[in-house]
Structure 1
Amino acid sequence: MPLYEYECPRCERTVELLVRSGDEKVACPECGEVKLERLMSAPAAPNMNGSSRSLPTAGPGEGCGAPRCCGGICQ
């Protein structure tokens, strides 16, 4: 289920809401406003190397992860 970030124009609160389908109506949990503005946000990615500052990367010779990867020589 996608998690979207919205801003309420009435109370100016920013909230994250789970949206099960594109037809689902959302409302501000604080004031009940239904005309929320969906915000652009960065997608979440798992952190595989223990650092909270970087995204996981492939090691030397592991390739880029694309379906037709060239085996680590992608530039």
Structure 2
Amino acid sequence: MPIFEYQCNDCGNEFEELVFDRDECPPCPKCGSKETGKLMSAVRSRVGGGPAASGGESESAPAPAASSGCAGCSGGNCSSCG
């Protein structure tokens, strides 16, 4: 069951809601209006766990592909990959 972000068309309140049906738009918890719409959620992920890259690299740049690593993590970045 995913959590979606919504915005009320009447009062402008933005809220998150756990929904069972992806087409369902729940009422606004602030004003009770049923005139709500789903927002686009931003997704951000980083592979590697090291410090953030610097030197002009954009934060939205795609993360480098993980190396084959060991059988334990398959990422080449755990304590057993030494």
2:32 aligned partner: 32
Determine the structure 2 residue equivalent to 1:19.
Answer: 19
Rounded to whole Å, the distance in 2 between the matches of 1:33 and 1:10 is 7
Unaligned runs of at least 5 residues, structure 1: 63-75
Q: Percent identity?
A: 36
Distance 2:26 2:33 in 1: 9
The structure with the larger Rg is: 2
- Which aligned pairs between 1:62-73 and structure 2 lie closer than 5 A? 62=68
Distance 1:40 1:25 in 2: 14
**In angstroms, what is the RMSD of aligned CA positions?**
2.9
Runs of 4+ in 1 over 6 A off after TM superposition: 52-56
TM-score (norm 1): 0.56
